[in-house]
Copies of this chain bind each other. A is one copy, B any other.
Amino acid sequence: MDVLSYRPDPSEFAWTFGGVPPVRTVRPGDILELWTEDAFGGKVRGPDDHVSRVIEFPFVNPQTGPFFVEGAEPGDTLAIHFISIEPSRDWAASCTVPLFGALTTTARTPLLHDPLPERVWIYEVDRDARTVGYHATEGDHTATLPLDPMHGTVGVAPAAFEARSSLVPDAHGGNMDTPEMRAGVTCYLGVNVEGALFSIGDGHCRQGEGETCGVAVEAAMDTVVVIDVVKGRPTPWPRLESDTHLMSTGSARPLEDAFRIAHADLVSWMGDEFGLETLDAYQLLTQVSESPVANVVDPNYTFLTKVRKEYLPRVDTYDGVHTRLRDTAVRYRG
């Protein structure tokens, strides 16, 4: 069990998927203990830390990586199993960002209104109680919310010689912002370039489905992953597997196309590996899909759809890599 610990210096952050040289080389089976900075580079710490003031575009959403995975080649699938995701500070931040969010004029839905006001919310993070604390900025309402840590951004270098901003989700993964990317889950990403070149970042203590204002409870994270490569097995869009569910994602606009991609991909997965004829898979998925929306704010919107494994034929999908990585996780935790 090889364990690599890596905490990037701010000068080492990656701001794109693709177009960046690797920070480390790793091997299938390796465990990586990583630290990721929050999406604001740790610069939003109080009520006056407006993004328009403290962030210089495009230096937003720093990624830890990329990592070159030995033996990963185009046509393979990279499996990243999240052993643990833990906030590394006792506070986290959210805010409104001008021209960003689902309920405001944006750069891509430009209207003649002025931007909404900028405002910051600081959450206290109680790692023992597993909660985060919300405080209204006007009035005295507070709410104690469950801690449910996740990574908003997980991806590899894209195909077609592209380099994409860490704000963008697409077929290479990236800024999907799905609350399902939590500990215990294996993420499958199709490899587009030699070494896969994966990075992660954008930890959230929690977020609602859709990430409506565009900003979750953003936090630096101490995260442990174990990786593997499934050779000769392409994966067209990012997929996730938990002990109980298979999940497909789609990232596109309009939102119905993200929905279509995720559902068509899951129908195809149910067919290719579980032996269901296409219309039979379409029918079964229609009745059982759980479809939490991930984000409705990023340059592409992201949908995820889930199906319980118990409704499907018993098959070790992706050669059973999830189960093996799960076992590694147990051994790691000792």
Contacts and interface: CB of A to CB of B under 8 A. Distances in A.
B208 A58 contact: no
Interface string A206-229: 111111111111000000000000
Contacts of A305: 209-210
Interface stretch (A27-35, A113-121, A238-246): A113-121
Contacts of A217: 287
Contacts of A284: 134, 136, 143
Contacts of A278: 112
Interface string A22-52: 0000000000000000000000000000000
Contact of A256 (B15, B16, B117, B255): B255
A112 B165 CA distance: 27
Contact of A141 (B275, B289, B293): B275
A160 B283 contact: no
Contacts of A260: 102-103, 109-111, 296
B160 A19 contact: no
A53 interface: no
A264 interface: yes
Contact of A112 (B57, B104, B293): B104
A291 interface: yes
Nearest to A251: B108
Contact of A206 (B121, B164, B287): B287
Main secondary structure of the interface of A (DSSP, over half): loop
Q: Copy number of this protein in the oligomer? A: 4
Interface in A284-309: 284-293, 296, 301, 303, 305
A105 B104 CA distance: 8
Contacts of A275: 139, 141
Contacts of A279: 96, 112, 116-117, 119, 137
A277 interface: yes
Given A136-B277, A143-B284, A277-B137, A290 B209 contact: yes
Contacts of A165: 160-162
A255 to B, nearest CB: 4
Given A103-B267, A134-B287, A287-B94, A112 B145 contact: no
A296 to B, nearest CB: 5
A94 to B, nearest CB: 6
Nearest to A279: B119
Contacts of A291: 208-210, 292-293
Interface of A: 15-16, 18-19, 57-58, 94, 96, 101-105, 108-114, 116-117, 119, 121, 132, 134, 136-139, 141, 143, 145, 159-165, 167, 206-217, 252-257, 259-261, 263-265, 267, 275-280, 282-293, 296, 301, 303, 305, 310-313
Given A96-B283, A102-B263, 15 more contacts: A19-B162, A19-B163, A96-B279, A112-B279, A113-B114, A134-B311, A137-B280, A145-B288, A160-B165, A208-B287, A209-B289, A210-B263, A256-B301, A290-B292, A291-B292
